[in-house]
Structure 1
Amino acid sequence: MNLLKKSLIASAVLASTSAYSAGVLLHEIGNNDLGLAAAGKAARAQDASVLAANPAGLSNVEGQSFAGGMMTLYGDTEYQMDNGASAGNIVGFVPLGSVFYSQQMNEKLTLGIGVYGNYGLGLEYDDFPLKTAVTQALTIQPTASYRINGQWSVGAGLGIQYGMFAVEAGGAQIDDTDIAYNAKLGVLFSPNEDTRFGLGYSSETELKFDVVALGQSVDPAVMPQTLTFSAFHQLNNKLAVMGNLGWEDWSEYETFTKTPTQDTYHIAVGSRYQLNKKLIWNAGLAFDSSLYENQSSGDFTIPTGDTWRIGTGMEYDLGEGTSIGLAFEVVLLDSSKVDATDFGQYGQGQFKDPALYFLTATYSWSGQ
């Protein structure tokens, strides 16, 4: 593979990398939802972090609310080539985090802002023309929620994404940044104080990077439009149950190796159990369908497929409106075969049973 073709891989890889980051990492933003496998995220509405999934949920958060978290991702994703060589574990450690704040202005209006990593990934290959590819994005989201009456609320936010990428291939290093915007919209319906239904929508985002190789510009890095419906119900003073149904618009997306893609669907269930006056136990299970039409036609930059998420975590009440949390989630993905003949031996291989592991520590505070 000559140097020009290596450069083309380096300049174009971000588009495919962003698909993996958004399609697989979109649910994890470094808050307590991690221990619930994101179940109920558009309806739980118990702190300011709900604005990322459903801006209308802020109407359920009284007074002032702060929520922050630090999260790490580790990937177990070895790309094994058919010729017996290995590109190694292409996803290593990736740090992520989030900070959210909201303020109830009056009985009707609540304002908030969130700063969170909506996707991020580092790829590193051994014995491969592409050496490293790092993608990070930071979202700043000012948000407003309006309570129409005792049952209905609406909300809207502006997602401001600052995207960064750096790639090393063929002895050359390429990096660039971009800023893009998208709309966040939501509705929250609360028939009573124990039950909530939420609907959150996020429009498509395109990050465009000013890189040209072989006379061709890099395709935009696309975060697809998404729709999430969530339900939350407090069964009694100890147990709450919740769930999600979701959709992501991946059918129009084109991966680096031109692999056919399709829309993805999401379902999740979770529970919160009050163990004692201080301690809450969270647990959740979720399934996301594959963005590939066929797992035998994958991409060597996107180890993904049908996905199971298993999460659990604890929240501890420190008193005076403050709490801390610790949560863990494992993400199990289907194996995928890569058969991209245009890339020679590098395009012939597989990811066997890839997995991702998330760990997050959180802190939250609320007051009047």
Structure 2
Amino acid sequence: MLIKKTHLTIALLTTFSSFYLQAAGFQLNSQSATGLGRAFSGDAVIADNASVMAKNPAAMTLFKTPALSLGLIAINSDINIQNTTITSPTPAGIMSFPVENASIGDASYVPNIYYIHPINEQIAIGASLYSNFGTVTKFPDNYGENLPGALKNSADIYGGTTEVKSINLGLSAAYRLNEQFSLGAGVDIIYGHGKFTRGRGLSTTLPSSLTGTTNLVDIDADGFAIGFNLGAVYEINENHRFGLSYRYSPTLEADGDITYIPNAAQGKPFNLNNEKLKIPLPDMIELSGFHQLNNKFAVHYSIQWIGWDSFTRLATTDGTVIKEYQWQNGWHYAIGATYYLNEKWTLRTGYMYDTSAQNQLTSISVPDSDRNWFSGGFTYHLNAHSNIDFGITYLTGKDINVTELSTGAPQLNATTHADAWLYGLQYSLTF
């Protein structure tokens, strides 16, 4: 019995880890509506409102009075799964059967809040609450019900429902060394929560002792972790400056309520609570620049490195290696411009090229690919101390050929394509 439980734990955690990491691989920036309108170009140093502390704590020294920003990002993803087949042994040999196309995109809503408080001309402190993840994908009920015989609904072993939400509470401080240099640091308290279902509809083929069981896998798990971030700002003068930041991302340990049916012939599901999985999150480094060319026009840019190669493998807290991964480091390259139309209106635009985190291993549950971001937005100044920002981005990916295989399950092949619209609204105030 002990051996069976050990094998069950490994199989289950492998499945859960895939769900969580692929959500991270489909990471969407959601720190502010202002940044969204310029494809987050220059975001680690522009400091046009308090949301800059999400990218670089050192930029808080650029504020002379307290600043508050409140915002919401809506993410509407359009994910299509096409040319799908299930391949499995049959009495006639290895055969492939087509699976209906699926549209699995959904909407996520990601709020954020930032507050910066200058203590004096040299020191500023701040607090923030925002999210780095807001992914939802839902396959149709009984995905693969057109498959014949025992293969009916088996495609849902790779489909199902995936929901990931996270909250990042940040506490930061910054110190101005002189007119040119500022340094900053912060602590990140990260809460992650996920829901995961697989194998819906397969319960119709299970023995009567499993009546009432609707999913082969049903997970509701969460966890906390602590990270930190460091930043620096160099100001040539008030019109030209650079920002550099580093974010250390921790290993998050997730546990919760888990129901899993490893073998229908055993006649009962297993409930495994409080099993923990070590999930290493990627470190990030960002370099940004801002240049006010004249009183009407500014340009800004960013390069961000994301350390996805930390996903070489996943393991349990007792050191058991669950599965090897072949993730690759990611990059963001962004450039944008801001036009100060008049005292009431500021216009902005930007473009980003965002490289995929996935390499050899791919998935239909949350597809990943290189992406192009096309962004625009504006600020409307209500008065000298408050404004409203709006940003919009169209994100488009590439077609990816996916092959998935799980122990004891048929092989799935498909082509995935993921696009998304992001909309941001924000209110900012200085005191």
- Letter aligned with residue 348 of structure 1: N
Q: SS state of the match for residue 102, structure 1?
A: strand
Question: What does 1:54-73 align with in structure 2 at a 5 Å threshold?
Answer: 54-73=56-75
Alignment partner of 1:303 is 2:364: no
Instruction: Single out whichever of 212-221 and 268-277 deviates more from structure 2.
Output: 212-221
- Alpha-carbon offset, residue 8 of structure 1: 7.9
Cα distance in 2 for residues equivalent to 1:346 and 1:217? 28
- Letter aligned with residue 281 of structure 2: M
Cα distance in 2 for residues equivalent to 1:108 and 1:87? 58
Q: Could you tell me whether the CA contact under 8 Å between 2:77 and 2:421 is conserved in 1?
A: yes
2:98 aligns to what?
A: 84
**Which residue among 301, 308, 316 is the counterpart of 2:380?**
316
1:34 aligns to what?
A: 36
What is the CA deviation profile of residues 90-121 of structure 1, one whole-angstrom value per residue up to 9, with x for unaligned ones? 23011111000011000110000000012121
- Alpha-carbon offset, residue 131 of structure 1: 2.4
- Alpha-carbon offset, residue 253 of structure 1: 1.3
2:137 aligns to what?
A: 123
1:239 aligns to what?
A: 297
Q: Could you tell me whether the CA contact under 8 Å between 1:16 and 1:221 is conserved in 2?
A: no
- Alpha-carbon offset, residue 238 of structure 1: 0.8
- Alpha-carbon offset, residue 17 of structure 1: 3.8
1:251 aligns to what?
A: 309
Cα distance in 1 for residues equivalent to 2:422 and 2:297? 25
1:227 aligns to what?
A: 285
| Count of residues in correspondence between the two structures | 361
Q: Could you tell me whether the CA contact under 8 Å between 1:14 and 1:221 is conserved in 2?
A: no
5+ long unaligned stretches in structure 1: none
Cα distance in 1 for residues equivalent to 2:196 and 2:397? 25
CA RMSD of aligned residues (A): 2.6
Cα distance in 1 for residues equivalent to 2:420 and 2:189? 27
Q: Taking structure 1 as reference, are residues 34 and 265 closer, same or farther at Cα in structure 2, changes over 3 Å only? A: same
**Which residue among 328, 331, 334 is the counterpart of 1:268?**
334
2:389 aligns to what?
A: 325
- Letter aligned with residue 161 of structure 1: I
State the TM-score, normalized to the length of structure 1.
0.90
Cα distance in 2 for residues equivalent to 1:59 and 1:26? 28
Instruction: Single out whichever of 109-118 and 215-224 deviates more from structure 2.
Output: 215-224
Q: SS state of the match for residue 387, structure 2?
A: strand
Q: Could you tell me whether the CA contact under 8 Å between 1:291 and 1:305 is conserved in 2?
A: yes
Q: Taking structure 1 as reference, are residues 79 and 218 closer, same or farther at Cα in structure 2, changes over 3 Å only? A: farther
Q: Could you tell me whether the CA contact under 8 Å between 1:156 and 1:184 is conserved in 2?
A: yes
- Alpha-carbon offset, residue 26 of structure 1: 4.8
1:278 aligns to what?
A: 344
- Alpha-carbon offset, residue 255 of structure 1: 8.4
Q: Could you tell me whether the CA contact under 8 Å between 2:160 and 2:365 is conserved in 1?
A: no
Q: Taking structure 1 as reference, are residues 192 and 59 closer, same or farther at Cα in structure 2, changes over 3 Å only? A: same
1:351 aligns to what?
A: 416
Cα distance in 2 for residues equivalent to 1:329 and 1:9? 38
Q: Taking structure 1 as reference, are residues 143 and 19 closer, same or farther at Cα in structure 2, changes over 3 Å only? A: same
Whichever of the two has the greater Rg, that structure is 2
1:196 aligns to what?
A: 241
Cα distance in 2 for residues equivalent to 1:290 and 1:183? 24
- Alpha-carbon offset, residue 254 of structure 1: 5.2
State the TM-score, normalized to the length of structure 2.
0.77
- Letter aligned with residue 76 of structure 1: D
- Alpha-carbon offset, residue 9 of structure 1: 7.6
- Alpha-carbon offset, residue 10 of structure 1: 7.0
- Alpha-carbon offset, residue 258 of structure 1: 5.6
Instruction: Single out whichever of 262-271 and 126-135 deviates more from structure 2.
Output: 126-135
Alignment partner of 1:178 is 2:198: no
Cα distance in 1 for residues equivalent to 2:113 and 2:165? 16
What is the CA deviation profile of residues 161-215 of structure 1, one whole-angstrom value per residue up to 9, with x for unaligned ones? 1111122334243212211111111001001000110001111222211257668
- Letter aligned with residue 248 of structure 1: I
Instruction: Single out whichever of 23-32 and 176-185 deviates more from structure 2.
Output: 23-32
What is the CA deviation profile of residues 108-144 of structure 1, one whole-angstrom value per residue up to 9, with x for unaligned ones? 1000000001212112122113522211101110110
**Which residue among 359, 384, 390 is the counterpart of 1:293?**
359
Q: Could you tell me whether the CA contact under 8 Å between 2:311 and 2:325 is conserved in 1?
A: no
